[in-house]
Structure 1
Amino acid sequence: MDRILAAAKVIATARRSRAPLKALAKDVVPRDEAEGYLVQRALHDLLRSQVGSLVGYKIGCTSTVMQQYLDIPHPCGGGIFEKVVHDSGVRLPHGDYVHVGVECEIAVRLARNLTAGDAPFTAEWVAGAIEAYHPAIEIVDDRYVKWETLGAPTLVADDFFAAGCVLGPAVPRITAPDLLGVTGRAVINGEEVSRGTGADVLGHPHNALAWLANHLAAEGRGLHAGQIVLTGSLVKTIWLKAGDAVVMELDGLGKVEATFT
């Protein structure tokens, strides 16, 4: 476990100083994704004083476009923390990030726990645990010297680019549209730059949530009532310049806005 903590400390130092992370030394780099998740949990403990408590998760690589972009053929998870969950309309300093990007997401808020003992989970099962959906901007940060060379285990260890989120108003599950047909549009400075649908997220965002619940259950952990889960981007990551105004519009779920000053 000394290797795990050593890797977490290197990543935490880079996160705090906003210094681009280089490849980890051979004696501490996580050997596989399972080890990457152990480093991630140690990292969360180290960062708590800075970013607050864990309030949910993001799921990356849930769409074909993102799996091809990152060259990782399966989902990956990361943490979302109390102090980096923002309300729509927020203005965030562009300089608070190494290289900030945004993604268009459907977020879910859970009404009840999904405990490890109840696994395996299906999309139908987890759907019943959802209280509401939110239109969401996932904030991602390319905080790496060259992410393409780091490998999935190190990216997982560092929360898989996660840097927070912006949430629009909640839409109760019972009044929400069928997510399969929801089109999401990414609008930057008033111009639509990309779009996708709920079906692009592992066939349905509930499939992504079931993947996360099963992934956590395999580690003996669960999801909890009130937690937020970002189910995966409907579009390829959009990298921002200072001053960019971001709007994500999701049919039937509303819109969410943020400006990176």
Structure 2
Amino acid sequence: MLSPEDISQIAAELAEADRTHGVIPRITARYPEATVEDSYAIQGVWRDQQVAAGRTLVGRKIGLTSKAMQQATGISEPDYGVMFDDTVYRSGDEIPVDHFSNVRIEVELAFVLKTPLEGPDCTLEDALAAIDYAVPALEVLNSHIELEGRTIVDTISDNAAYGAMVLGDVHKRPDEIDLRWVPGLLFKNGEIEETGVAAGVLNHPATGVAWLANKFHQHGSRLEAGEIILAGSFTRPMWVSRGDQVLCDYGPMGTIECHFI
């Protein structure tokens, strides 16, 4: 376990890396004794400082919930981070690439809760009952820790590598569509790069919402009504650079477009 001083120091390093869009050495290379509990403590210190500085929390992201993402990262355990209001974009927006580090895109579904959701025994059915609607989303990854050799501890400490999300315009209640079969066709500059279906996330994308509610219960907390829950990617991450035009086709849930400038 890391000391409170080490946790605060690492959180400060990550905050500075976020401010300067830089990258720091792996935490696990410098602190091989660091645990998953330490990493969530680091993330928590950083989060609380962001809220104290005036940012508004709008939801949570879940990561590493599909085999595609676990194989792409070499990490087999899901994780979560926080999302602030100033990181939410809409389809058609321009996104400044200089705001992020190691910029990649993932294909996901997001869920907006109509009622609170609490563990410890939350099921998929409980999650579906608590969801107001699903909306297609792209996640912009933003990694402030060197990628080579990183572990789940590094990723969680870095707010689960969350940078921003781009939300689509089509909302569907869980009873309006078979969410397992929502497709994702991801294009960059007119060329198709990745494909997948939402069932790739734990066999149902809302399963991650139940997992998160149960995980939060371990920390004495719950998911609140109105929160946006980004459920995890069902494709591998796609690298993007300045000038790239990104489009994702979600079939019956419409399309998302964004331009990196």
Same fold (TM over 0.5): yes
Match of 2:95 in 1: 92
Distance 1:154 1:113 in 2: 30
Superposed counterparts of 1:158-177, under 5 Å: 158-173=158-173, 176-177=176-177
Contact 1:7 1:28 in 2 (8 A): no
Q: Which runs of 5+ in 1 are unaligned?
A: none
The residue matched to 2:165 in structure 1 has which SS?
Answer: strand
Q: Does the residue aligned with 1:37 lie in a helix, a strand or coil? A: helix
**CA spacing shift, 1:49–1:242, aligned 2, 3 Å:** farther
Equivalent-residue separation in structure 2 for 1:75 and 1:42 (angstroms): 20
Q: Conserved in 2, the CA contact under 8 Å of 1:107 and 1:229?
A: yes
Looking at structure 2, the residues matched to 12 and 51 of structure 1 have their Cα atoms a distance apart, in angstroms, of: 14
Name the counterpart of 1:108: 111
- Corresponding residue for residue 185 of structure 1: 185
CA contact (8 A) 1:51 1:82 kept: no
CA distance in 2, matches of 1:29, 1:40: 17
Deviation of 1:23 (Å): 2.3
Name the counterpart of 1:20: 23
**Is the 2:144–2:158 contact (alpha carbons within 8 Å) kept by the matching residues of 1?**
no
Match of 2:10 in 1: 7
Residue by residue over 1:48-93, the C-alpha shift from the partner in whole angstroms, topping out at 9 and shown as x without a partner, is 3668222111111111111111111121111111100111111011
Q: Pairwise mapping of residues 242-253 of structure 1 onto structure 2 (< 5 A)? A: 242-253=242-253
Q: Who is 1:132 aligned against? A: 133
| Cα deviation code 1:158-193 (max 9, x no counterpart) | 111100101012413156310111111111112221
Deviation at 1:246, TM superposition (A): 1.0
Question: Using the alignment, how far apart are the partners of 1:51 and 1:180 within structure 2?
Answer: 37
Task: State the partner residue of 1:69.
Answer: 72
Distance 1:260 1:236, change over 3 A: same
The TM-score with structure 2 as length reference comes to: 0.92
Query: Helix, strand or coil for the counterpart of 1:149?
Result: coil
Distance 2:251 2:67 in 1: 21
> Within 2, Cα distance between the matches of 1:26 and 1:104?
30
Q: CA deviation at 1:26?
A: 7.3
One-letter identity of the residue aligned with 1:221? S
Residue 121 of structure 2: aligned partner: 120
* C-alpha distance in 1 between matches for 2:32 and 2:80: 18
Identity of aligned residues (%): 31
Give the partner amino acid of 2:110: A
Number of residues paired by the alignment?
A: 258
1:201 and 2:194 matched:
no
* 8 Å Cα contact 2:60-2:83 kept in structure 1: yes
**Is contact 1:208-1:231 (8 Å) kept?**
yes
Mapping for residues 45-60 of structure 1, pairs under 5 Å: 45-48=48-51, 52-60=55-63
Counterpart amino acid of residue 93 in structure 1 = P
Q: CA RMSD in A?
A: 1.9
Structure 1 residue runs of 4 or more that deviate by more than 4 Å after TM superposition: 25-30
Specify every segment of 5 or more residues in structure 2 that has no aligned partner in the other structure, as ranges.
none
Q: Is the Cα–Cα contact under 8 Å of residues 63 and 201 in structure 1 kept in the other structure?
A: yes
CA contact (8 A) 1:30 1:154 kept: no
Can you list the C-alpha shifts for 1:75-132, whole angstroms capped at 9, x where unaligned? Answer: 11111111001111110111222221111111101111113xx521001101100001
1:24 to 1:110, Cα distance in 2 relative to 1, 3 A: same
Give 1:28 shift.
Answer: 6.2
Q: Which amino acid aligns with 2:132?
A: E
Question: Distance between the aligned counterparts of 1:241 and 1:232, measured in 2?
Answer: 22
> Does the CA contact (< 8 Å) of 1:79 and 1:159 recur in 2?
yes
Deviations along 1:183-232, whole A, 9 cap, x unmatched? 11111112221110111001111111111111111111111111111111
